[in-house]
Chain A
């Protein structure tokens, strides 16, 4: 098995989960209503937990300890897409990002249940079930607020347009795409993107929201290669603050 290809895939997935998990946790205590506060906090816990499981797979392949990997790298060593590192902004943007990203993620793990790398297939089977709750949550709110009042529709529409170039960056092609596909580790970003577009269209078509023309959207790439926005480093500094004061602390 091509280990470099496998590691690259695991790193980008783990980093996506960790960074978006951290962003979700920023809603703790700030949610627009109690249930949403709990929902984003729970999804944060799921995502950070899932990133730990993925970093553990990497550790079993010879990479550093999960805490070291999570807390000691600089922004340019992270492989997450730029989309997940963007600040939460208003709730409408967070909700749109949650919908667009988690739809992709649920489909990605669904595809990975057939991975030729058995430990990943096992973990994906587990995570797939958990993500059904994330997509249920996202779809419920998008359908509700996407057809509610002129203000809710307008806010979601603007966020959707703002988010879309970044959302397409989720599917940035890996340098090992051919190897991943030929060794049946993962069916590839292009196939994932096709499935994702169909799913996104099916939900948005049940609302008053309009999807932009896919062909006219200019994707924001670079994240998978360590090229990030100015927002990632401050996030990492905050996330690793306690660890850096005392790396041996237990809590």
Chain B
């Protein structure tokens, strides 16, 4: 059987972010390259944040999945193509919102961190919101409060 790059990416849809189980690593944008040479598959991954403690775990999950599929995995962590929140797919952004996390605004309009002052509430879509802290329960999330629905929420940080 000849394995295609697309096949690998489809398989990797099953590996989810351990902190956000609705989001696959592919949709999160941390799989930055896949090369296939016969039965040898090389996957390049990059962390969302350099200090992300889930990186080793995600790498192991990718290796295990590929082994199950009968290929010899070579999974490398690299900064060649650094992660940015713009690498989250549209599908991924929808999944985040459904999960209750405000998706990050596009990095292209994000020249200054002042954009962080407000975010769209993932529950009521209100924009009358306030940044409470740029640091949340994980490195990639910030804390907000929505004055419309009076609920706290988190945003996946733009980076």
Which A positions have Cβ atoms within 8 angstroms of B? 35, 38-39, 41-43, 45-50, 52-53, 119, 122-123, 125-127, 129-130, 132-133, 136-137
Near A by CB (< 8 A), chain B positions 101-139 give 113, 116, 132-137, 139
Q: Is the CB of A45 within 8 A of B132?
A: no
Q: Any chain A CB within 8 A of the CB of B159? A: yes
Closest to A120 in B: B79
Task: Enumerate chain A residues within 8 angstroms of B52, measured Cβ to Cβ.
Answer: 49
Q: Is the CB of B159 within 8 A of A125?
A: no
Task: Enumerate chain B residues within 8 angstroms of A122, measured Cβ to Cβ.
Answer: 79-80, 82
Q: Any chain A CB within 8 A of the CB of B83? A: yes
Task: Enumerate chain A residues within 8 angstroms of B79, measured Cβ to Cβ.
Answer: 53, 119, 122-123, 125-126
CA distance A125 to B135 in the complex (A): 20
User: Given that A49-B49, A50-B51, A126-B83 are contacting pairs, would A39 and B159 also be in contact in the complex, using a CB cutoff of 8 Å?
Assistant: no
Main secondary structure of the interface of B (DSSP, over half): loop
Q: Any chain A CB within 8 A of the CB of B93? A: no
Closest to A35 in B: B133
A-B contact list, 30 entries, CB within 8 Å: A35-B132, A38-B135, A38-B136, A38-B137, A39-B135, A41-B135, A43-B135, A45-B51, A45-B139, A46-B50, A46-B51, A47-B51, A49-B51, A50-B50, A119-B79, A122-B80, A122-B82, A123-B50, A126-B46, A126-B79, A126-B82, A127-B50, A129-B82, A130-B49, A130-B159, A132-B113, A133-B113, A136-B113, A136-B116, A136-B134
Q: Any chain A CB within 8 A of the CB of B34? A: no
Interface size of B by CB at 8 A reads 23
Partner of B133, one of A39, A123, A130: A39
User: Given that A39-B134, A130-B159, A137-B134 are contacting pairs, would A46 and B139 also be in contact in the complex, using a CB cutoff of 8 Å?
Assistant: yes
Task: Enumerate chain B residues within 8 angstroms of A52, measured Cβ to Cβ.
Answer: 50-51
Task: Enumerate chain B residues within 8 angstroms of A50, measured Cβ to Cβ.
Answer: 50-51
Partner of A133, one of B46, B53, B80, B157: B157
Q: Any chain A CB within 8 A of the CB of B84? A: yes
Task: Enumerate chain B residues within 8 angstroms of A129, measured Cβ to Cβ.
Answer: 82, 84, 159
Task: Enumerate chain B residues within 8 angstroms of A136, measured Cβ to Cβ.
Answer: 113, 116, 134
Closest to B157 in A: A133
Q: Is the CB of B135 within 8 A of A137?
A: yes
Task: Enumerate chain A residues within 8 angstroms of B83, measured Cβ to Cβ.
Answer: 126
Q: Is the CB of B132 within 8 A of A46?
A: no
Q: Is the CB of B113 within 8 A of A53?
A: no
Q: 1/0 per position for B50-61, CB-CB distance to A under 8 A?
A: 111100000000
Distance from B105 Cβ to chain A, minimum over Cβ atoms (Å):
14
Task: Enumerate chain A residues within 8 angstroms of B80, measured Cβ to Cβ.
Answer: 122
Residue among A52, A53, A126 with most chain B CB within 10 A: A126
Q: Any chain A CB within 8 A of the CB of B41? A: no
Near A by CB (< 8 A), chain B positions 30-56 give 46, 49-53
CA distance A38 to B132 in the complex (A): 12
Distance from A151 Cβ to chain B, minimum over Cβ atoms (Å):
23
Q: Any chain A CB within 8 A of the CB of B8? A: no
Task: Please name 14 further chain A to chain B contacts, defined as beta carbons within 8 Å, in addition to the given A47-B51, A123-B79, A129-B84, sorted by A numbering.
Answer: A39-B134, A39-B135, A42-B135, A42-B136, A45-B139, A46-B139, A50-B50, A126-B82, A129-B82, A130-B159, A133-B113, A133-B134, A133-B135, A136-B113
Task: Enumerate chain B residues within 8 angstroms of A132, measured Cβ to Cβ.
Answer: 113
Closest to A39 in B: B135
Distance from B44 Cβ to chain A, minimum over Cβ atoms (Å):
12
Task: Enumerate chain A residues within 8 angstroms of B49, measured Cβ to Cβ.
Answer: 46, 49, 130
